[in-house]
A and B are shown apart, each in its own frame.
Chain A
Amino acid sequence: MAPAVLSLVVLGGYPLVFIALAAFTESSLGRPFQEFVGAATFESVLADGDATASLLRGVVYALLVAVVSVALGVATAVALWRSVRAGAVVRTLLLLPMITPPVVVGVLWKLVFTPSGGLVDTVLGAVIPGGATFSVLSHPVFAFLGVALADVWEWTPLIVLLVFAALIGQDAAITEAASLDGAHGFRLFRSITLPAIAGTVAAAFLIRLVLAFKVFDLVYVMTSGGPGQATTLPAYVIWQAALQQFDVGRAAAVTLLLAVVVTLVTLPVVAVTRRLHND
């Protein structure tokens, strides 16, 4: 029990207490906890349209990335499961994006999207000769989707891994019995396989949601939060406040607000997950 309590205090308690204290005090990078300011920092953050927009943007981003990642991840895992004997090499290759350092992923996708000689621009140039240069990361909507695509590419293998493990853990007798009863193809998947792995899929969705809320590296490397504020997500705002503006109090306030938002968004997912496991 003692090690568990100690790890909880060290890993969870100390950072949360530090953040809470910083959020309610005037705290700079070099001098935290200078003076109690009550809720003034929260009021300032909530009155800042860019800060609140980043929280909302973070919700949209996380849901989008989580949904796409899980859809692709489940589809890929099922495909691998069906070709399980020939899939060892493919399974290993699929894990590569996940084990690639996030900064490298960001650089890679930035090169793909770069308007001067990037993959997207080159392909479009070949398809539409004489067309204007196309810059994904300079358009607010495309830049948002571009970062999301890189994120999906990086973390979908995690979903594949989790769902694939659930698939091979199924009771083969049930599947065989369903087949003997005439269930095949999509019907077998929908009626037998999907219910069996639904709890894992929901759990994977929750994990992916939290990972998406945390994204920083890709934004830092690919767009610096731009163009404009289009890709300024909460983690980037926190980094900017703490390490660029030396305003740890503001960073802590945004962090706590983000924690509330993440909790509100994930609670329904947790409820669904629990229900699926109880069924």
Chain B
Amino acid sequence: MTSTRSPFGRRASGVAFVAGAAAVAMTLSACAGGAASGSNADGDFSGEELTVLLISSHEGASEWLSTEFEEKTGATINPVIVPYDEIGSKLALDQQSGANTIDVAAPWYVSLGDLAADGAIQDLTEWVDGNDALDVDDFIPSLWKPYSQVDGKTYGLPFDGDTHVLFYNREILARNGFDAPPATWDEYLEQTKTITENESADGVYGAAIFGQKSPLILGASFANRLAGFGGEFVDESGEPTINTPEAVAAAQALVDVNDYALPTPAETDFGAGNSAWFAGKVGFIENWTDLGVRSQDPESGSEVVDQWGVTFLPTGGGNTASRASLVAGFSWVIAANTQKTELAQEFIEWASSSEVNAKLLTELPPTGIDPNRLSSLEDETYGTEFPEIQEANRATLDGALAWPTGENATEAAQVLTDELAKLLAGEGGTAQETLDRVQAEWEDLLG
């Protein structure tokens, strides 16, 4: 009998082992680079280049920043745009590998502790403390500490304020007999349920719930409710408090609305949720305040111009005071091994300034940037063009819920997100059981 020749012979067992190993081999390299800084006293950096790492949502802002900074200093900005969930690893690998192509980055503030522990970003404490021009007292107080500091040291400067508020479609609410947006999460559930029951056959749903399994997406939806119910991620001493009655109520509120949201929360990321909002297909969406700027811009594809309103996040349980939730938020950091520290400092000082932040708030096409300073929050142009958004943003002035930011905070956020995803999928038991598991893991990671 004729048989086809096979690559598998006597050493087949060895082949199987190598195949198994090769199937999963990760190729990571380990080496490190050195640090140095240039010098320039008169602020003229003509001919120099700075590579800045940003997330895709900040691409519009990067174009504005590049143009303006080159005009101001003569330096060229080379933006490197990556997905929002890759910026931390991209920066860490760039520095750890010795490639050192990145000079400045704007990662999620929650990753500051891990990036600092990995030696991927510079300790800016001395520079910040000795630089009055930074005017750190003007940063919104509830943002300043989480967005900049880890264990008493300063590693970043706030860039994008990024607090969530509740947007609502006035026409959809009116069609369903509601003349005001919800003040509590119970009212939110009732209105969402009513809209979905009345209009889902026409493709209109009560709410878009960001539920994709990512800390910046599903984690944000939970954080909004945690803030509303008056809970905290950790207490004042940094000990996890993620299984308190307030936290359990927040998780349960997420479960309760799951069946009435735009199908389906587990698949709803920023793109899917925002598209439904701009198309006028959802009554509510929790989003960053800059969504209002885009909602008023038909060039951005918005079909809800002048049809929307915005309000504070609802409250729940015994809490009656609305509180901002710092679900995302991005900080300027300087890469540990950059050779251009002076230019990098010049850039982040300028890019985090009140003047720049105020410009970015109202720039068209929208830049996706939210207020980071008290003065830019109260900017006259911002107040004139977007008075409702400005008012909603003032919620950050009365304290805000922030994620933990120390070492392992990134993993802690992922642990919470994974457990919440299981809860929503019906795999995690009750909300209390889910958060008890998170509490136990957080005590190991953060305690």
Contacts and interface: CB of A to CB of B under 8 A. Distances in A.
Contacts of A18: 26-28, 30
Interface string B1-36: 111101111101101111111111111101000000
A182 interface: no
B120 A30 contact: yes
B277 to A, nearest CB: 13
Interface string A251-277: 110010011111100110111011011
A19 B26 contact: yes
Contacts of B424: 227-228
A130 B201 CA distance: 7
A269 to B, nearest CB: 8
Nearest to B86: A243
Interface stretch (B90-98, B300-308, B318-326, B392-400): B90-98
A228 B426 contact: yes
Interface in A221-249: 223-230, 234-235, 238, 240, 242-248
Interface residues of A, number: 80
A61 interface: no
B111 to A, nearest CB: 8
Contact of A240 (B20, B22, B414): B414
B263 A116 contact: yes
Nearest to B427: A228
Contacts of A246: 88-89, 92, 114, 118, 410-411
Contact of B8 (A115, A197, A261, A273): A273
B218 to A, nearest CB: 9
B251 interface: no
B28 A259 contact: no
B92 A30 contact: yes
Contact of B27 (A15, A228, A251, A273): A15
Contact of B3 (A137, A196, A213, A243): A196
B212 interface: yes
A171 B3 CA distance: 9
B267 interface: yes
B118 A262 contact: no
A133 interface: yes
Contacts of A202: 6, 8
A76 interface: no
A229 B22 contact: no
A242 B118 CA distance: 13
A135 B25 contact: no
Interface string A128-158: 0010010101101000000000000000000
A8 to B, nearest CB: 9
Contacts of B4: 165-166, 169-170, 196-197, 199-200
A206 interface: yes
B428 interface: yes
Contacts of B7: 203
Contacts of B26: 15, 18-19, 238, 242, 251-252, 255
B99 interface: no
A238 B263 contact: no
Interface in A168-198: 169-171, 174, 195-198
B22 A12 contact: yes
Interface in B323-373: none
Given A30-B92, A262-B23, A270-B16, A244 B414 contact: yes
B85 interface: yes
B266 A138 contact: yes
A202 B12 CA distance: 12
Given A12-B22, A224-B214, A262-B24, A245 B410 contact: yes
Contacts of B120: 30
Contacts of B276: 116
A108 interface: no
Contacts of A50: 418
Interface in B252-293: 262-267, 276
Interface in B82-116: 85-86, 88-89, 92-93, 95-96, 114-115
B294 interface: no
Contacts of A251: 26
B202 to A, nearest CB: 12
A215 B432 CA distance: 34
What size tier do the contact residues of chain B reach?
Answer: 35 or more
A30 B21 contact: no
A261 B195 CA distance: 49
A29 interface: yes
B440 to A, nearest CB: 12
B374 to A, nearest CB: 33
B6 A277 contact: yes
Interface in A1-35: 11-12, 15-16, 18-19, 22, 28-33
Given A19-B26, A140-B425, A28 B8 contact: no
A16 B21 contact: yes
A244 B85 contact: yes
A114 interface: yes
A31 B97 CA distance: 10
B88 A228 contact: no
A214 interface: yes
Contacts of A267: 13, 16
A249 to B, nearest CB: 12
B3 A199 contact: yes
Contacts of A199: 3-4, 6, 8
A95 interface: no
B23 A226 contact: no
A116 B203 contact: yes
Interface of A: 11-12, 15-16, 18-19, 22, 28-33, 50, 114-116, 130, 133, 135, 137-138, 140, 165-166, 169-171, 174, 195-200, 202-203, 206, 210-211, 213-214, 223-230, 234-235, 238, 240, 242-248, 251-252, 255, 258-263, 266-267, 269-271, 273-274, 276-277, 279
Given A32-B30, A225-B421, 12 more contacts: A29-B96, A50-B418, A115-B264, A133-B263, A138-B264, A196-B4, A213-B23, A224-B212, A227-B425, A228-B425, A248-B28, A263-B20
30 contacts: A12-B22, A29-B92, A30-B96, A30-B119, A31-B96, A32-B96, A130-B201, A133-B263, A137-B267, A140-B427, A171-B2, A174-B1, A200-B4, A202-B6, A210-B23, A226-B266, A227-B424, A230-B425, A245-B414, A246-B92, A255-B25, A259-B17, A259-B21, A263-B16, A263-B17, A269-B16, A273-B8, A273-B12, A274-B9, A276-B3
